[in-house]
Chains A and B, each alone.
Chain A
Amino acid sequence: MEIKLAEDTFLTDDFLRQLINVGEVDILVGLPTHNNAKTVGSIVKTIQSGILRWFPRERAVIINADGGSRDGTPELVTSISIDDVRRGSNPYALRTLHSISTKYASSPESPAALRTILAAAELLQAKACVVMSPESSSIEGEWISKLLRPIRDDGFDLVTPTYRRHRFEGLLITNLLYPMTRALYGLRLREPYAQEFGFSGRLGGEFLSQNVWDDGTAGSGIELRFTLAAITARHRICQSFLGQKDHIERRGSDLVPALRETVGPLFSALEPDFPVWSAVTGSQPLPTIGPDHEVLLDLVRVNRKRLREMFTTGVAELATVFQSILSPATLAELQRIAGSGESDFEYSTELWVKTVYEFAASYHQSVISRDHIIQALAPLFRGRVLAFLMEHRNGSAEDVENGIESLCLEFERLKPYLLQMWKSRE
């Protein structure tokens, strides 16, 4: 272990002592938490059983990076005995499995949590690492294998998940993040903002050494930056189908934080990555283990009236804000559809793509506060969600997938429009 690193590190002395006691490992599982006492116990047990079953001969450690939980989450992580799990799974596991918890801050910060996990992985010289979400109640032990094996056995550097989702879940991913990253970076990566993902020690160390931690750009949504960093550095990336993504209860008001976590970092990354994405045309599929998507068609009750009301109100009330961000033609078209009847409501893919690209160009140019630009996207996204719901309310899984695919192709087709907007506003 390199003493120099220990001297320079931001890790606490106690955490460093625990890491030194562990020694080198082959596999590291990172678990960032904050007040997850309800779910973390079962998740740690599932992780432990997954390691015992799929990697019985590997030296492994679970690193819990906690953001100041007050419900005893760290104690729960460290108190779960490996013997309880061993009885029920593989009694012949040869290695000791360590569980270490450290408090990186008194409040949750996803960049600090990931940084702690990456630093621990580097110190322990872990060859393959995986980060798991502390909220997933549908997690299975096999997920560990699905995310780690491509790294250990096939030499991939990043493994992102694909899930079985309800057709109307994750609409921010299917209507913006996936198509836009695909069009700009040229890779058909279904989950660019993954809560569960695997990565090689090499990629982790490389990202850790990047100047993203102290330059103020490492805000929320660091997972997306991590994925984009792997793409731009041309690391080997693949996808692995995990199974059903459980429905995490979120309120409608969670949309703005979700936009800040995802769209903000994506728009922000476009500036340093300009030489990369401006040269990309078209998109390539990624190696995928299992299907690259599965769609559930259960019925859901959605308040379409409220979605429409929030879109219409947003377009009317934020007209002065949109004048700074959008082109007159796009704004006029939005105002036209905001005034149309419910049965005629249609937010076309072309208009949506132009809206997003103009927002990205305005973000680049900082025409107003960048956070205000992200917030202003929320009512328009609701309009797009409404159009998507209306278009696919009776659609099959294939119809939904075709709709997403045509949106992706529209993002790719209109990429020159983004380049034009980008340059014209410089």
Chain B
Amino acid sequence: MREMIISELSQAMHELARGFAHYLPRLIVMLILAFAGWAVAYIAKVVLRSILRLIQFDRLSDNAGASQLLTKAAMPAATEVLSRFLFWVVWLGFILLGVSVLGILGLQEQIGKFFLFLPRLFVAMFILFFGLLAASFFSRAALLAAVNANVPSPRVLSLAVRSIIIVFVLSIVFEELGIAEQTMLVAFGIGFGALMLGLAIAFGIGGKDLAQRFLERRFVRAKKDESEDELSPL
């Protein structure tokens, strides 16, 4: 009986030692990959930060309105956020690569999914950034045109343009990420429809006086102004 226990224990110890000997090189490989990944990620972060600073990406981000969002969320500048994001994505990629070397069953599939998800994440971020840039540009264009044409409530018009573009961009981003696609599609439809209906009602009923004043200014006062001289700027 005692011999049997000792035999089992020694066998278990042998298997443990064999298992450890089997996994140790893989563990070392994983650690090496993690360390190398950290170095690569750090270099990538520094390079990206330099490039972004060179092309004055922060200013582009200011123009896009992304900087305001980041400030509100108590986050650093866009250049820093992107650099850090790249650092973590690269390092995480290396760590997962190292983990996959361990050959743990079930984990391989999840790691594969993560790497397949990365391009979609990048595309979504790309769409989000340029969407915000477009929203900022077109809302400012609408604001300037409305102010110079003396249209009433120019900021409301500008805000409406910005909101429509952002809602549209967000729906594309969520669809790209594959997050609650159906829900987002329905939410977008409802949100967009509600916004349009709201604007129509606001202009037709809530803004009746505003619309009346606008139309009067456009057509009634135009006749009155004929008796006034227009100064030619040139």
Contacts and interface: CB of A to CB of B under 8 A. Distances in A.
Contact of A170 (B63, B140, B233): B233
20 contacts: A168-B231, A169-B232, A172-B234, A193-B234, A247-B232, A248-B232, A250-B230, A251-B230, A252-B230, A262-B234, A302-B228, A302-B231, A310-B147, A310-B150, A313-B150, A317-B155, A369-B137, A372-B144, A381-B233, A385-B231
B229 A301 contact: yes
B225 interface: yes
B231 A321 contact: no
Interface string A248-265: 111111111011011000
Contacts of A254: 232-233
Nearest to A175: B233
Given A259-B233, A317-B147, A378-B148, 18 more contacts: A170-B234, A171-B231, A247-B232, A250-B232, A250-B233, A253-B148, A256-B148, A258-B234, A261-B234, A301-B227, A302-B231, A303-B228, A310-B150, A313-B150, A369-B140, A378-B147, A379-B147, A385-B231
A368 B150 contact: no
B223 to A, nearest CB: 14
A301 B231 CA distance: 9
The 8 A-B pairs of least Cβ separation, nearest first, read A172-B233, A300-B229, A375-B144, A258-B233, A250-B232, A301-B228, A378-B148, A317-B154
Contacts of B233: 170-173, 250, 254-255, 258-259, 381
Interface residues of A, number: 44
B141 interface: yes
B148 A375 contact: yes
B27 to A, nearest CB: 53
A376 to B, nearest CB: 6
Contacts of A259: 233
A367 B59 contact: yes
A68 interface: no
A164 to B, nearest CB: 14
A204 interface: no
A318 interface: yes
Contacts of A262: 234
A309 B148 CA distance: 11
A383 interface: no
Interface of B: 59, 62-63, 137, 140-141, 143-150, 154-155, 225, 227-234
A12 B154 CA distance: 47
B147 A313 contact: yes
A243 interface: no
A74 interface: no
B147 A372 contact: no
A314 interface: yes
Contacts of B149: 253
Nearest to A249: B230
Contacts of A321: 140, 143-144
Interface string A286-310: 0000000000000011110010011
A109 B231 CA distance: 25
B135 to A, nearest CB: 14
Interface string A353-374: 0000000000000011100100
B229 A170 contact: no
A372 B147 CA distance: 12
Contacts of B228: 301-303
Contacts of B150: 306, 309-310, 313
Nearest to A310: B150
A174 to B, nearest CB: 10
B172 to A, nearest CB: 23
Nearest to A385: B231
B140 A317 contact: no
B143 to A, nearest CB: 7
Given A321-B140, A368-B63, A369-B137, A300 B231 contact: yes
Interface string A113-148: 000000000000000000000000000000000000
B225 to A, nearest CB: 7
A262 to B, nearest CB: 7
